[in-house]
């Protein structure tokens, strides 16, 4: 029998969470991520875990706050409108520094929008969404195997930095099926959580998990500490995939589904003699600023082309990194529409011919 | 090698159930095409009803064009491909049970949740000669081995309210498929068949991964449904 399992992206997320030692799932169903809940409803029984369908997304994120605050590895998942509902919880979790993993399988908005794939929640998940100065660590996969390994890693990163990690996938990545090799023995890191509200257990330290600090000096101290943690993450946790950058004239920046399409465009463009490279951020925050600004300084690079399933969100970070050194063009589709390979190739041809 | 359709076309109503992503829609569409091609000289025709009320993403209604090309009438929820998340049972489905010249292929949504719709049609189904086929891909979660498959059979039968009449081996790895998928899974499906008494009726695979001589060699007495890709999966 094959050691590969044919999995949907959503199923891969769910199984990876179990492999990472997550035994608590709280969620509320919404297309296109409901397979995560469905899978875990079955799978948590096998591993003596907890599956709970909460009464709302707001309830689910606060259950994450409670269970993760007690030191457990916890998962919740939703799609765009549900993630909007969770934003208060995001901010509270950031303030209380609770290691949490949240999956957002994005659908098209705004509002209830539709159920088809989109990447319109980049601003929400990368820039904030909730109130106050905080960051989420945001991971974006472009294939099912990668989604599996990033989900496992998300739990380690959450525990290591006491931060909320968002797995940001578009509907296509969640729904698509690919063969996955599930690691037999996983090198699961166990993190000591001396801060957790897990009971005094005979000791005399009473732990409190909270995000309220009335004393401005203390609260500014917390903010300073959070900011220095964020700088540490920016220095150590950037993940990015690059391809064909050596002699590229045009550099495509894209994540998730768009990066898959871009890879086909690059091959096709090469056949026509147009040198196109790719920078695919895997961590959307921390953003791969350095490789983009390095690439922008190269003489061989004429222009950047950012492709997203939105009206232009990550492109702002690309422009900041390029810092005016080269032109940054944008092509996006919304409403659940996905750009075709030919559509992007046509833009690449026009840029190469100087006519964009 | 031609598809041996004698076993495929014996009943008037043919229902496909199975685990999520087992390939029910692809098998149902290709099954419909195959039996439709045997009915070309007759006034009778095939109706394919997409009754997947669970997953609005990948389903047999996506194959609309290829079905029409093959003279197959499609019944699908009016909401299909409209980006509206309101799957509903199309009322025309009731008519297929009343027309003796019509062969029906019913594509049912995944697992016990999807299969409940069979229970709601139980009286009409049992009044005609019918097959309830379970599509199995052992590379999919929750049907990886004999025990899991038997458990899934019990869940599906309980939701359907009628017995499964045949097992369909659709083991594959999408683009990474090979003839080995059927070869490797064959003993497991045979074992399930022995344990449950449910006949192993046919296996299925994409023509591109199963050259003629291979399918002939591998399947022996179990017919092989050679399929063409009709339902869109990935970008």
Nearest to A351 by CA among A278, A245, A276: A276
Q: How do the domains of chain A map onto residue ranges? A: 4-236, 243-352
- Which one, of A11, A2, A3, lies nearest residue A169 by Cα? A11
Instruction: In whole angstroms, give the CA distance from residue A283 to residue A72.
Output: 24
Q: For residue A261, list chain B residues with Cβ-Cβ distance below 8 A.
A: 235
Kindly report, residue by residue over A222-263, the tens digit of the pLDDT.
999 999 999 999 999 999 999 999 999 999 999 999 999 999
**Residue B202 half-sphere exposure, CB side, CA atoms within 13 Å?**
24
pLDDT score for A47: 96
Query: Rounded to whole angstroms, how far apart are CA atoms B94 and B114?
Result: 18
Quick one: pLDDT band at residue B78, thresholds 50, 70, 90?
A: low
Res. B126: pLDDT tops 70 = yes
Q: How far is A201 from chain B (nearest CA, A)?
A: 39
From A15's Cα to the closest Cα of chain B, the distance in A is: 10
| pLDDT value at residue B56 | 61
Closest of B83, B68, B195, B19 to residue A171, by C-alpha: B83
Q: Which of A188-197, B23-32, B140-149, B210-219 has the lowest mean pLDDT?
A: B210-219
The answer to whether ipTM exceeds 0.90 is: no
Q: What is the pLDDT of residue B100?
A: 87
pLDDT of amino acid B180: 86
Cβ–Cβ of A177/B234 closer than 8 Å? yes
User: Chain B closest CA to A330's CA: distance in Å?
Assistant: 21
pLDDT, tens digit, for every residue of A304-330?
A: 999 999 999 999 999 999 999 999 999
Q: What's the farthest any 2 CA atoms get from each other in chain A?
A: 74
> Is the CB of residue A54 less than 8 Å from the CB of residue A26?
yes
Q: Which residue has the higher pLDDT, A188 or B103?
A: B103
Contact B141 A115 (CB under 8 A): no
Instruction: State chain B's mean pLDDT as an integer.
Output: 86
Coil, helix or strand at residue B226? strand
**What gap in Å lies between CA B138 and CA B126, rounded to an integer?**
29
Compute φ and ψ for B27, nearest 5 degrees: -65, -45
**Are A172 and B85 an interchain contact pair (Cβ–Cβ within 8 Å)?**
no
How close does chain A come to B196, measured CA to CA in Å?
21
d(CA A127, CA A136): 8
Dihedrals phi, psi of B136, to nearest 5 degrees: -125, 130
Query: Can you identify the CATH homologous superfamily of domain B13-227?
Result: P-loop containing nucleotide triphosphate hydrolases (3.40.50.300)
Q: Nearest C-alpha of chain A: how many angstroms from B184?
A: 6
CA quadruple B106, B107, B111, B116: dihedral positive or negative? negative
Eight-state DSSP code of residue A107: B
Mean pLDDT over B207-222 rounds to: 64
For the cut 90, the answer to whether the pLDDT of residue A73 exceeds it is: yes
Residues 6+ away with beta carbon under 8 Å from A272:
A349
Q: Quick one: pLDDT at residue B86?
A: 61
Residue of B nearest to A336 (CA): B83
Instruction: Compare CB distances from A176 to B20, B185, B234 and report the shortest one's residue.
Output: B234
Q: Smallest Cβ distance to B140: which of A6, A116, A171? A: A6
Q: What pLDDT, on a 0 to 100 scale, did the predictor assign at position B233? A: 46
Question: Which positions in chain B touch A171 (Cβ < 8 Å)?
Answer: 57
A259/A254 Cα distance (integer angstroms): 5
Q: Which H helix or E strand runs over A347?
A: helix A341-352
Distance of alpha carbon B160 from alpha carbon B177, whole angstroms: 31
B169 Cβ contact list (under 8 Å, min separation 6) = B136, B182, B185, B186, B189, B200, B202, B203, B204, B222
Q: Which residues contact A177 (CB under 8 A, 6 or more apart)?
A: A6, A7, A8, A144, B21, B174, B233, B234
Q: Judge: A11–B141 Cβ closer than 8 Å, yes or no.
A: yes
Give A183→chain B minimum CA distance, Å: 15
pLDDT greater than 50 at residue B235? no
Residue of chain B whose alpha carbon sits nearest to that of A173:
B234
Structure tokens at A304: 């950047």
What pLDDT score was predicted for residue B121?
94
Q: How many CB atoms lie within 10 A of CB A241?
A: 16
**pLDDT surpassing 60 at residue B83:** no
**pLDDT band per the 50, 70, 90 thresholds, residue B220:** low
Q: Is domain A4-236 given the CATH code 3.30.70.141 in the classification?
A: no
Using CA atoms, how far residue B104 sits from A309, B49, B113, B132, in Å, is: 40, 7, 22, 12
- What DSSP line would sit under B72-90, residue for residue? PEEEE-TTTTTT-------
The least confident of A64-68, A121-125, A155-159, B214-218 is B214-218
Question: For A151-193, how does the pLDDT look when each residue is reduced to its tens digit (9 = 90+)?
Answer: 999 999 999 999 999 999 999 999 999 999 998 876 778 899 9
B171 to chain A: closest CA residue: A6
Per-residue pLDDT, A311: 98
DSSP-derived pairing of the beta strands A240-243 and A276-281: antiparallel
pLDDT interval class at B140 (50, 70, 90):
very high
* Closest residue in chain A to residue B111, using alpha carbons only: A38
Q: Which fold has domain A243-352?
A: Rossmann fold (3.40.50)
Measured CA to CA, the distance from residue A168 to residue A283 in angstroms comes to 10
Q: Work out the minimum CA distance from A114 to partner chain B, whole angstroms.
A: 6
Q: When comparing pLDDT for A88 and B64, which is higher?
A: A88
Backbone angles phi, psi at A292, to 5 degrees: -70, -45
Which of A8, A175, A179 shows the shortest C-beta gap to B176?
A179
Note the pLDDT of residue A188. Answer: 76
CA distance B150 to A16: 25
| Residue in A32, A42, A178 nearest the CB of B142 | A42
Contact assessment for residue A64 and residue A17, using Cβ atoms and an 8 Å cutoff: no
Residue A1 confidence (pLDDT) above 70 = no
Cβ distance of A4 and B176 shorter than 8 Å: yes
Q: Which of the residues B111, B141, B151, B231 would you substitute to probe the A interface, choosing the one with the greatest number of A C-beta atoms within 10 Å?
A: B141
- Bridge-partner residues for A304, per DSSP? A251, A328
Task: Please name the residue ranges forming H helices in A237-282.
Answer: 257-271
Interface with B, mutate which of A6, A143, A173 (most B CBs under 10 A): A6
Per-residue pLDDT at B85 exceeds 60: no
Q: Do A176 and B235 touch (CB under 8 A)?
A: yes
pLDDT higher than threshold 70 for residue B217:
no
At B2 the pLDDT is: 46
Q: Which long-range contacts (CB under 8 A, 24 or more apart) does B41-46 make?
A: B42/B101, B43/B101, B44/B101, B44/B102, B44/B103, B45/B71, B45/B72, B45/B73, B45/B101, B45/B102, B45/B103, B46/B71, B46/B72, B46/B73, B46/B102, B46/B103, B46/B104, B46/B105
Please state the pTM of the whole predicted model. 0.92
Section A48-66 average pLDDT: 98
Query: Which of A31, A179, A338 minimises the CB distance to B235?
Result: A338
DSSP code at position A342: H
**Burial grade of B184 (CB within 10 A; 0-12, 13-18, 19 or more):** middle
């Amino acid at each position: 029998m094959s050691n590969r399992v044919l999995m949907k992206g959503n199923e891969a997320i769910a199984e990876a969470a179990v492999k990472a030692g997550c035994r608590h799932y709280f969620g509320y169903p919404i297309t296109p991520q409901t397979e995560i809940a469905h899978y875990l409803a079955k799978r948590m029984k096998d591993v003596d875990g907890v599956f709970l369908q909460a009464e709302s997304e707001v309830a689910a994120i606060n259950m994450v706050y409670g269970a993760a605050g007690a030191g457990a590895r916890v998962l919740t998942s939703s799609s765009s409108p549900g993630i909007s509902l969770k934003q208060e919880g995001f901010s509270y979790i950031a303030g209380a520094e609770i290691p949490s993993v949240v999956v957002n399988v994005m659908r098209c908005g705004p509002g209830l929008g539709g159920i088809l794939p989109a990447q319109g929640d980049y601003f929400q998940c990368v820039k904030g969404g909730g109130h106050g100065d905080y960051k989420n660590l945001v991971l974006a996969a472009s294939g099912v195997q990668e989604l599996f390994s990033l989900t496992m890693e998300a739990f380690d990163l959450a525990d290591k930095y006491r931060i909320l990690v968002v797995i940001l996938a578009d509907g296509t990545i969640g729904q698509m099926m690919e063969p996955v090799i599930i690691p037999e023995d996983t090198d699961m890191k166990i993190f000591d959580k001396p801060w957790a509200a897990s009971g005094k257990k005979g000791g005399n330290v009473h732990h409190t998990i909270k995000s309220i600090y009335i004393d401005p000096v203390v609260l500014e101290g917390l903010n300073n500490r959070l900011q220095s943690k964020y700088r540490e993450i920016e220095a150590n946790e950037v993940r990015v995939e690059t391809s064909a950058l050596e002699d590229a004239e045009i550099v495509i920046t894209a994540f998730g589904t768009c990066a898959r399409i871009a890879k086909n465009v690059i091959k096709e463009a090469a056949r026509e003699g147009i040198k196109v490279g790719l920078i695919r951020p895997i961590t959307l925050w921390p953003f791969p600023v350095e490789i983009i600004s390095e690439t922008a300084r190269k003489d061989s690079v004429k222009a950047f082309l950012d492709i997203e399933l939105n009206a232009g969100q990550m492109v702002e970070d690309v422009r900041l990194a390029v810092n005016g050194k080269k032109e940054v063009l944008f092509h996006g589709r919304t409403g659940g529409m996905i750009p075709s390979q030919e559509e992007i190739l046509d833009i690449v041809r026009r840029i190469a011919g100087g006519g964009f | 090698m031609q598809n041996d359709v004698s076993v495929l076309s014996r009943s008037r109503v043919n229902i496909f159930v199975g685990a999520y992503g087992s390939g029910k829609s692809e098998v149902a569409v290709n099954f419909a095409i195959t039996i439709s091609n045997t009915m070309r000289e007759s006034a009778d025709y095939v109706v394919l009803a997409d009754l997947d009320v669970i997953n609005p993403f990948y389903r047999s209604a996506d194959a609309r064009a290829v079905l029409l090309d093959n003279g197959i009438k499609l019944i699908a929820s009016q909401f299909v491909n409209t980006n509206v998340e309101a799957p509903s049972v199309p009322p025309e489905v009731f008519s297929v049970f009343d027309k003796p010249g019509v062969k029906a292929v019913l594509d049912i949504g995944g697992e016990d949740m999807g299969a409940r719709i069979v229970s709601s049609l139980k009286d009409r189904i049992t009044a005609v000669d019918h097959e309830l086929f379970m599509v199995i891909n052992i590379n999919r979660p929750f049907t990886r081995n004999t025990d899991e498959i038997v458990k899934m059979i019990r869940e599906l039968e309980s939701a359907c309210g009628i017995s499964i009449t045949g097992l369909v081996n659709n083991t594959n790895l999408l683009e990474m498929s090979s003839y080995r998928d059927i070869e490797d899974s064959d003993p497991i499906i045979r074992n399930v068949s022995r344990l449950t008494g449910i006949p192993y009726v046919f296996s299925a695979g994409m023509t591109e991964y199963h050259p003629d001589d291979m399918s002939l060699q591998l399947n022996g007495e179990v017919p092989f449904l050679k399929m063409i890709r009709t339902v869109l999966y990935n970008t």
